[in-house]
């Protein structure tokens, strides 16, 4: 009889611990089906090219610095009146804003159509014009995007807008910059909203599969919006009293304490009467 009581007490204690530690067993791992220790070619495209409202940094270099003065914003103050954007409260010019027609006004060269070009293509085109026009025979041009921003919303640790340096940003890099998904964020159907060339597309990406690397949304583009949908557990909890989980957690904790007390009481009675 005493052994049976001892067994029941032990079972109740173990059951309480299991209930208290119980959690969802849904898949939360990233790219769980990707084969490890393998190498595959990168096929994705970093960017679809320069778009309207992109803010570009364009810098011209030469072995004769004086020859670059008319072409660099830092030295050519006249460029300010030719479609160049300046930082508020700053005397330094900060970039060329691409207009709705996809054009910029570049010093001396005038209007240049840049829509759809990659940054390297634009750099090559400007370099070609500078050389062919006998402006700078050894010109070297660097083009960078200055306002690459992506918005990440939903079940992530710190939702908000992030700024990227350069022109390459993967979905995993963006999520790491906002503290990663919460335990309630859906890995299987993350939404990406993209606006390019006058079109808005709404795509879906599965972070749990290695197919993510083939997705056109693996590399994020300028002004993309990433939305992480909450899982069913989060949705259902939102429909209940927001304090219910606190009540359940407190109840389980109290039950655990009581079962432990009962277990040690039975144990002490068992050994004292032995």
- Write out the two tokens for 135: 């402006």
Percent of the chain residues topping a pLDDT of 70: 69
- What does pTM read for this prediction? 0.64
List the chain domain ranges: 2-25+234-272, 55-145, 149-230
Which residue bears the tokens 């390459």? 168
Among 11-15, 103-107, 135-139, 172-176, which stretch is predicted with the lowest mean pLDDT? Answer: 11-15
Q: What is the model's pLDDT at position 16?
A: 46
pLDDT tens, residue by residue, 76-86? 765 555 555 54
Distance between CA atoms of residues 250 and 205, nearest Å: 38
Nearest alpha-carbon partner for 127 in 101, 105, 100, 106: 106
For residue 155, what pLDDT band results from cuts at 50, 70 and 90?
very high
Nearest alpha-carbon partner for 23 in 190, 234, 240: 234
Top-level class of domain 149-230: alpha beta
Q: What is the model's pLDDT at position 90?
A: 42
- Asked if the domains 55-145 and 149-230 are classified in one and the same CATH topology, the answer is no
Q: What is the model's pLDDT at position 201?
A: 94
User: Helix or strand or coil: residue 48?
Assistant: coil
Q: What is the model's pLDDT at position 105?
A: 94
Distance between CA atoms of residues 80 and 146, nearest Å: 17
For residue 15, what pLDDT band results from cuts at 50, 70 and 90?
low
Residue 250 has pLDDT above 90, yes or no: no
Nearest alpha-carbon partner for 118 in 74, 177, 56, 71: 56
User: Helix or strand or coil: residue 161?
Assistant: strand
Dump strand ranges (E) for 114-224.
140-145, 149-154, 160-163, 190-196, 199-205
Residue 22 has pLDDT above 70, yes or no: no
pLDDT tens, residue by residue, 140-152? 999 999 989 999 9
CATH of domain 55-145: 3.30.1950.10
Q: Are 25 and 186 in contact (CB under 8 A)?
A: no
Residue 33 has pLDDT above 50, yes or no: yes
**CA-based radius of gyration for the chain:** 30
pLDDT tens, residue by residue, 202-240? 999 999 888 888 899 999 998 999 999 987 776 666 555
- Residue 139: CB atoms within 10 A of its CB come to 20
Higher pLDDT among residues 236 and 260, named by residue: 260
Residue 133 has pLDDT above 90, yes or no: yes
- Write out the two tokens for 231: 């899982």
pLDDT tens, residue by residue, 165-209? 777 899 999 999 999 999 888 898 999 999 877 789 999 999 988
For residue 34, what pLDDT band results from cuts at 50, 70 and 90?
low
| Residue range 48-67: mean pLDDT, rounded | 91
Q: What is the model's pLDDT at position 140?
A: 96
């Amino acid at each position: 009889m005493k052994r049976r009581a001892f067994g029941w007490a032990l079972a109740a204690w173990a059951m309480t611990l299991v209930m208290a530690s119980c959690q969802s067993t849904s898949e939360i791992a990233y790219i769980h089906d990707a084969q490890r220790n393998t190498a595959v070619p990168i096929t994705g495209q970093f960017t679809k090219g320069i778009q309207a409202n992109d803010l570009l940094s364009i810098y011209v270099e030469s072995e004769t610095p004086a020859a670059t003065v008319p072409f660099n914003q830092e030295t050519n103050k006249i460029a300010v009146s030719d479609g160049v954007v300046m930082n508020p409260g700053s005397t330094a010019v900060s970039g060329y804003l691409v207009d709705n027609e996809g054009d910029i006004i570049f010093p001396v060269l005038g209007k240049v159509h840049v829509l759809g070009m990659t940054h390297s293509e634009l750099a090559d085109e400007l370099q070609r014009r500078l050389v062919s026009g006998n402006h700078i025979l050894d010109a070297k041009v660097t083009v960078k995007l200055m306002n690459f921003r992506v918005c990440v919303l939903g079940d992530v640790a710190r939702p908000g807008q992030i700024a990227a340096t350069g022109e390459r940003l993967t979905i995993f890099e963006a999520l790491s910059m906002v503290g990663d998904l919460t335990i309630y964020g859906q890995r299987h159907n993350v939404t990406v909203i993209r606006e390019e060339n006058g079109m808005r597309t709404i795509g879906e990406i599965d972070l749990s599969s290695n197919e993510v690397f083939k997705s056109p949304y693996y590399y994020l583009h300028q002004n993309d919006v990433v939305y992480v949908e909450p899982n069913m557990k989060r949705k259902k909890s939102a429909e209940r009293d927001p304090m219910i989980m606190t009540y359940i957690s407190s109840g389980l904790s109290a039950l655990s304490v009581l079962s432990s007390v009962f277990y040690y009481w039975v144990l002490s009675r068992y050994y004292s009467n032995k």
